[in-house]
Structure 1
Amino acid sequence: MDIPTASAIQGWALAHTYQELPEEFYAAAAPTPVKAPQLELLNPALAQALGLDVAGPEAGLSELFAGNALPEGSLPIAMAYAGHQFGHFTMLGDGRAILLGEQQAPDGKSYDIQLKGAGITPFSRRGDGRATYAAMLREYLISEAMHHLGIPTSRSLAVARTGEQVYRDPIQDGAVLTRVSSSHLRVGTFEYARRFLPADAQKALLAYAIKRHYPELLGTSQPALDLLKAVMARQAKLIAQWMGVGFIHGVMNTDNIGIAAETFDYGPCAFMNAYYPGTVFSSIDTTGRYAYGNQPQMGHWGLAVFASALLPLIHEDQDEAVKLAQATVNQFPELYEAQWKQAMASKLGLDEAGAEEEALIKDLLRWMQQNEADYTNTFRYLTDGSGPGAARCEQDAFREWESRWKSHIEQQAGGMAQARETMARNNPAYIPRNHLVEDALKEAAAGDKSRFEALLSVLSDPYTLQPGQESYQLPPDGGDFGFKTYCGT
């Protein structure tokens, strides 16, 4: 079916560099038109950053963001990739996502524009290619919250209802999310190339990834090994940032580990309230593989898979390639540890991240776990004395630790004043607390987006205390026991 071109938005400058790769990396896939498109959410600030004028008629915007019309210059495709899902290799591909092209933005960068939930593609397998309204609202909310927390992430440009139902348990309203990302290249893309494609295709993918995301590596003598090192460094920092705000991705399969090291795929993700490294909310993670405290190890595992996929490109001699790759991957724990220590030191206003500072960090975390203290509120209490964490911090054990911490801070050049400036930039007052998110989604699905929009507004400025918004700092009564998140497929 031919999809008409939309004129509701001006400023499209779509390129299609991914389609310069061998055709095995993608398949043509137009969106499937829907019954009654209705625009529900639009991100004007992101649109402006992309160079788009979204002042067109609402009907035209609804048609565009639901997939009933296409942007000028689009060449829609579904991307081919594989991945290890919970440790098991699987052939995948975009089963419900369609890439429209790469928007050339005013900042000089290119961004993938992708419709999620836009219908069946050649990679849908037995899926319906659709997404639920609640799940797409959730991705919009969490991805925007992550952006405002300062963590690299895909973003959300719009959500449009389809006027059709999606057959899940229970049956729900359908929707399409417009996702924006630096790219959707992933470890699984390289796994696919290594497993199924010839050497020339693998080399083309390597060259493309470097040109698009790591141009500083162009012309190096060991491009594959250098790419592995660069991706490792970015992933180490990204995971440390997740840990710093208590974020649990929930499904760190290798098809969700991006080469650009942005957070994406916000299915069974959640934020931790009470500090406990074993926290896991995903309904499909029955063994705790991707629990909060396991994320660094799972990142390491995923990067080892990446290294394996790169072996033929690292060195023509298999044994030498393995030797070089193993030596590189073995550096990840040290890379991550340095990033984590620095992130946690900043949360406590510490100038250094040496042995003494590490002891302060780990002693605080130990106290938090023993006392089921709220992760976000404890750090915010230390920052400015605010929030609902104060009562628990009256304990003698905490006061003893706090005295040690203050003595250490007073020995720093800037003292407590400078330390708290650093802490205020690194300790959010507000996170997307699970109960608040679920309540907002339920009401939005029932037709009232007011709670959703209020939560989105608070999360757009998470590091600033907002008068009258104290309820957004409260953990749920009785904790998160029994709370589950779902992948949405």
Structure 2
Amino acid sequence: MTAPRFDNSYTRLGPGFYSRTAPTPVGNPGLVAVNDDLARRLGLDPDWLRGPAGAAMLAGNLMPPGADPIAQAYAGHQFGGLSPQLGDGRAVLLGEVVAPDGARFDIQLKGSGPTPFSRRGDGRAWLGPVLREYLVSEFMFAAGVPTTRALAAATTGETVIRETALPGAVLTRVASSHIRVGTFEFFAIRGDIERLQALADHVIARHYPDAGDAMGMLRGVVSRQADTVAAWMALGFVHGVMNTDNMAVSGETIDYGPCAFMDAYHPDTVFSSIDRGGRYAWSEQPRVAVWNLAQLASCLIPIMGEEQHAVEEATRVVHGFPALYQAAWLKRFGAKLGLADPAPGDRALVERLLDIMAAQQADFTRVFRGLADGSAQAEFADPAPFAAWRSDWDARRPDLDLAARANPVRIPRNHRIQQVIDAGVGGDFQPFHRLNRALAAPFDADPDWDDLCLSPQAGEEVRVTFCGT
């Protein structure tokens, strides 16, 4: 195994879907990390990636044979307002790799320089967002959440200017595709029915081969998003910027910008510095998913046949999201309580616990993990409400082994990520590597990583996060 072997089906869709754009070379690239397991999954040799040619590719300084670098075109609703042209403003898709088992994956460089969609931006990324996305996306994979993944992180030897001068970096992101709801919006708002149909056919072939048509594809996207959002909720994850251009039609979590995990639980938790109205709060994520899916359905109506019938059926499909989501939510949270086959009445049991947690600002991750190991009560300043709840939970005869498998010991806590970033800016990547190793096995207790399980102390809390741009 040496360089990647590319087969680029998206570029074969032709003009209009992208702009051919090469990464801008950097001055002095250096590897921070290579994901050996993911490399092997793709059929790549990790040693080659760490060598001169691989390191140059991961920084954007060398294009391997078969790569056909592009910046993808898409639109998007951002905080509810339509932006008719967005596109990859700081990312270049090198191409698609077909893994040994036949699965197809995009390889994309984030922070690789300006593209025609950069909107006067520099197209670069600084080190902080690269380290954050690497850690969070790989944790999500280890926790069983559909997600894009991180193949590598590289420094550029150059600085980027945000509020101040910061070290530049490039993330190599892997996804089953980077096609978004906003990709369909790009063609729908232009009335480009031919390309809209071609895009739908491509997505069906790539992600939903049993769908048959655009309506079947919509059903598939709705179902996968219900599962994905339920998985977010069960981890206390706040995506932070659920614009339609940040919802992948594959069902994978994409674009880890101002994302964060709750420490103290409250359903209205918001971290993003730009989400001043709480549109993308933890509790709002299922509603926003429905709104985004409705935008996708609207885009697909022109290629669904007779309009009135298409509108009625697509509406039914989108309105089916809540039932699918609630079923996925109950399965996820039931497992967190150690209930392999939760009954409808167990929803109230979960919600009672969440209410107690919110009232006392108890740590989301530590309470649920504490159900498995008997330490949950210690997370409450007033243990009496939890003790009363626990008697009802005990009556359900929970499987504590199941609860341990469903509740991580460690998550990428905001203050730990900030510590990793601060160290990385100073040239020390040992905290990054340590946290990355710990998060690769998030359900396994290990005394060597006990400090990574702790809630932030006073003065350590990170309550506001920022977009990677």
1:111-260 matches, cutoff 5 A? 111-217=105-211, 220=212, 223-260=213-250
Gaps of 5+ in 2: none
8 Å Cα contact 1:103/1:112 also seen in 2: yes
- Distance in 1 (CA, whole Å) between partners of 2:379 and 2:137 is 32
- Distance in 2 (CA, whole Å) between partners of 1:199 and 1:469 is 54
Aligned position for 1:469: 449
Aligned position for 1:426: 406
Cα distance change on mapping 1:43 and 1:391 into 2, 3 Å: closer
Task: Give CA deviations for 1:19-76 in whole Å, capped at 9, x if unaligned.
Answer: 1213100110001111111112111111111111132364333311111101221011
SS at the partner of 1:102? strand
- Distance in 2 (CA, whole Å) between partners of 1:86 and 1:100 is 29
Deviates more, 1:252-261 or 1:329-338: 329-338
Matched, 1:294 2:284: yes
8 Å Cα contact 2:3/2:64 also seen in 1: no
Task: Give CA deviations for 1:152-207 in whole Å, capped at 9, x if unaligned.
Answer: 11111111111111110122111111100000011001101111252221111111
Counterpart AA for 1:213: H
Shift of 1:276: 0.3
- Distance in 1 (CA, whole Å) between partners of 2:214 and 2:34 is 39
1:64-143 matches, cutoff 5 A? 64-90=57-83, 91-143=85-137
Task: Give CA deviations for 1:280-337 in whole Å, capped at 9, x if unaligned.
Answer: 10011111110111000011110011111111012232x3322222122111111111
- Distance in 2 (CA, whole Å) between partners of 1:100 and 1:382 is 45
- Distance in 1 (CA, whole Å) between partners of 2:458 and 2:46 is 44
Counterpart AA for 2:411: I
Aligned position for 1:338: 327
- Give the alignment's Cα RMSD to 1 decimal: 1.6
SS at the partner of 1:281? coil
- Distance in 2 (CA, whole Å) between partners of 1:55 and 1:180 is 18
8 Å Cα contact 2:152/2:172 also seen in 1: yes
8 Å Cα contact 2:363/2:379 also seen in 1: no
Shift of 1:247: 0.6
Amino-acid identity (%): 47
Aligned position for 2:55: 62
TM-score by length of 1: 0.93
Counterpart AA for 1:278: D
1:448-463 matches, cutoff 5 A? 448-463=428-443
- Distance in 2 (CA, whole Å) between partners of 1:372 and 1:54 is 44
8 Å Cα contact 2:184/2:296 also seen in 1: yes
- Distance in 1 (CA, whole Å) between partners of 2:88 and 2:14 is 17
**Aligned residues between the structures:** 467
Matched, 1:400 2:388: yes
8 Å Cα contact 1:38/1:59 also seen in 2: no
- Distance in 2 (CA, whole Å) between partners of 1:365 and 1:338 is 18
Matched, 1:14 2:6: yes
- Distance in 2 (CA, whole Å) between partners of 1:244 and 1:61 is 37
Deviates more, 1:191-200 or 1:279-288: 191-200
Counterpart AA for 2:40: Q
Counterpart AA for 1:138: R
TM-score by length of 2: 0.96
- Distance in 2 (CA, whole Å) between partners of 1:448 and 1:164 is 17
SS at the partner of 1:468? helix
